[in-house]
Amino acid sequence: LFRSTPGPQKALIRQTMQDRALGQRDRINSMLTDTMGPKFDVGQMRNMITEERAAAADPLYSQFRQTQVFPTPEIKALIPRLQKSGAFNKAQELSGITGEPINMNFFTTGDQKAFPTAQTWDYVKQALDSRINAAYEGGDKALGRALVKLRNETVAAVEKAPGGQVWKQARGEFADYSHLLDNLQAGRDTFLGGRNAMTADELRAELSSLSAPERTARIAGARMAAAEAMGNTLKGDSTLRNQLLSPNNQEKLKILLGDNRANRLIKSLEQESRIADQTGNIIGNQNTGASGAMRSERV
């Protein structure tokens, strides 16, 4: 009916709605900034970590590197599984690359016993994070779930062990560069990559053992991926909007951001979707045309 009506008002309405459609990318970007923060600058990460360590005070970082975590029965039970996962070998590799030696003599005999430090267990967690990312990127969800379970059990056991509180406190106040990189990558995959097929419950389990800095990095990674998705194609903003509005991703947004921020973003995206649908109904699909049945229905 609209398209069969002559007059200048028709052109004015068409142009107004087309102009609004063109502004969707900027509006969605503004919504994401409001709920997830601005696009993260990876280049600033090292400076941020240095500042966080300074704020946490050098004595805590020194404790983190030196405090031994004494093996409890729970930790001892985890050792064979961690060995099987390759976490210890990867931890040694990471420590060698960074130049931070770690003690891997887990259960020495005699009077001079030496147990892994809080920093050693941090490298073990980094190793598991790396394997988890690789599993999901490779499409092996079963392996990813098993490694997430092992990581969560390891974090819980170490934090409860004598000396483990130092690790827990350090993780809450600053994060290693590798930890943040791993979680940035995981965040990038949460909605648009290898973790997109995860259920909400699986994501909730994975996030349960993250420290505050790691969770922040996870959100920053998701924000980076969203920005890139919008810029990859001409209609990337509409594709991203529809992906985030899927029922599974709406639930995952609530888990990642909390209900208030997630609901604010979802409501805004739903509004964009409704207006986009009405734009097509009023002015027609300019790219592909409309079927005869749709035209009749509109009239």
Mean predicted lDDT score pLDDT of the chain: 80
Which one, of 172, 151, 169, lies nearest residue 67 by Cα? 169
Q: Percent of the chain, pLDDT > 70?
A: 73
The pLDDT value recorded for residue 182 is 81
pLDDT digits (tens, 9 = 90+) for 143-164: 999 999 999 999 999 999 988 8
The pLDDT value recorded for residue 253 is 95
The mean pLDDT value for 226-249 works out to 88
* Distant-in-sequence contacts of 4-8, Cβ < 8 A, 24+ apart: 4/299
pLDDT digits (tens, 9 = 90+) for 200-219: 998 998 898 888 888 888 99
The pLDDT value recorded for residue 1 is 47
Q: Percent of the chain, pLDDT > 90?
A: 28
Task: Note whether 34 and 223 are within 8 A (CB).
Answer: no
The pLDDT value recorded for residue 169 is 79
Which one, of 163, 81, 84, lies nearest residue 122 by Cα? 163
pLDDT digits (tens, 9 = 90+) for 266-282: 999 998 888 877 766 55
